[in-house]
Structure 1
Amino acid sequence: MRRLFISHAISAAALLALGALSASAADNAAVQEKAAVCSGCHGENGISQTENIPSLAGQPDQYIQWQLVFFRAGSRKNEQMQPIAAEITNEDIRSLGAYFAAMTPPKGPEDNDPDLSKKGQQAAAGRRCASCHTDSFAGTKAVARLAGQREEYLVKALNDYKTSQRVGGAGAAMADVAYSMSEEEIAAIAHYVAHLQ
């Protein structure tokens, strides 16, 4: 009798595990389907090949979630993102955050201007960028990963913060930092972090 009970218990556990696996596979397929819409602009495997479009691969989970919430609420404006974000649920937001965070982040290209990177490193240190974005510029929690991001996108983002065109989340802190940056500092910092490996 005891053996029969153990046998049934093992069978039930196996069935539950198989059910969880198939549900997980279905969830994964649903996330991949949602993420496929993102790859049209943000690139295969979350690595953008399009000017002024950021890579999402390796961005912190919470950062992606909050940006999607800001787009959906309209506090962060973008003509392409607003209609997409309007159609996603809270569960989609959580799933997409985890999905892109788990991807391998882009590596910065070979640095073709190390002198500019050195100026950018000095400017970033002076602006205390690492105090939020971490020493490796990999981001954390709701703070963006900058290392390896597209250089022209970083220039655009800093200029958008500087002119208060970009709001939401850490908008106030970023606007405060970017407001007094010169165009030369913006270009140097963007070059430096974009080329980090």
Structure 2
Amino acid sequence: MRVTLGGALLAATIACSSFAHAADVAAGKQKAEVCAGCHGDNGISQMENIPSLAGQPDQFIQWQLVYFRAGARKNEQMQPIVEQITNEDIRNLGAYFSSLTPPKPPADDDPDLSKKGAQAAVGRRCASCHTDNFAGTKAVARLAGQREEYLVKALHDYKAGQRVGGGQAAMADVAYPLSDEEITALAHYLAHL
């Protein structure tokens, strides 16, 4: 009986403590105003090599902000911003961006390239982490509908060992053997999903 009561008390304590740290989407939206300059209104980037954040999984956004703030990921534009955010801001930004509608993918102007990209995605088992529809989950990025040139850059960065954080080891292992042609095809396919 004590084990059951102790377990129930532990579960109640965890449940109550999670309410104290619940994310505030409205506060995240307000904090994200500075993000719109690069990541676009409603988290949909219009700038080359800048990712769209709309619809990214909450935990993924949070972890990337933590990596930037800790200096594990480096970016000249991000560093001064992340130095000013708190853990609460990070939770709120994750909740806000994950609540937004993901970008609508552009019309596929090269279905043959997408077919090659789909084959590369199957061959590299991308769906095993990023899910079958490439919407991401938990701390794993959404790839579907992401900016094509950003996906190319990210894959090249993983391949070269220049990008760290999160699934870096898995991504480096996946990206390293990719040819430039496979990277181009894979990025095209994912951007048009």
- Give the TM-score category using the shorter length: 0.7 to 0.9
Show the counterpart of 2:171: 174
Give 1:32 deviation, angstroms.
Answer: 2.4
Unaligned runs of 5+ in 2: 1-23
| 2:97 aligned counterpart, secondary structure | helix
Q: Is the 8 A contact 2:27 2:92 kept in 1?
A: no
- The answer as to 2:69 corresponding to 1:72 is yes
Identical-residue share of aligned pairs (%): 79
Distance 1:37 1:187 in 2: 31
Q: Is the 8 A contact 1:107 1:147 kept in 2?
A: no
Alignment counterpart, residue 52 of structure 1, candidates 45, 49, 52: 49
Unaligned runs of 5+ in 1: 1-26
Distance 2:29 2:140 in 1: 24
| 1:70 aligned counterpart, secondary structure | helix
User: How many equivalent residue pairs?
Assistant: 171
Residue type of the partner of 2:179?
Answer: S
Distance 1:114 1:188 in 2: 10
- The answer as to 2:60 corresponding to 1:63 is yes
1:34-69 CA-partner distances (Å, limit 9, x unpaired): 100011100000000000000000000000000000
Q: Is the 8 A contact 1:52 1:153 kept in 2?
A: yes
Distance 1:99 1:29 in 2: 7
- The answer as to 2:163 corresponding to 1:142 is no
Give 1:28 deviation, angstroms.
Answer: 5.2
Alignment counterpart, residue 119 of structure 2, candidates 98, 119, 122: 122
Q: Pairwise mapping of residues 28-39 of structure 1 onto structure 2 (< 5 A)?
A: 29-39=26-36
Distance 1:80 1:115 in 2: 36
Q: Is the 8 A contact 2:28 2:94 kept in 1?
A: no
Residue type of the partner of 2:76?
Answer: E
Residue type of the partner of 1:66?
Answer: W
1:10-47 CA-partner distances (Å, limit 9, x unpaired): xxxxxxxxxxxxxxxxx555332210001110000000
Residue type of the partner of 1:181?
Answer: L
Q: Is the 8 A contact 2:26 2:96 kept in 1?
A: no
Show the counterpart of 2:81: 84
Give 1:107 deviation, angstroms.
Answer: 1.5
| 2:109 aligned counterpart, secondary structure | coil
Residue type of the partner of 1:89?
Answer: T
Show the counterpart of 2:90: 93
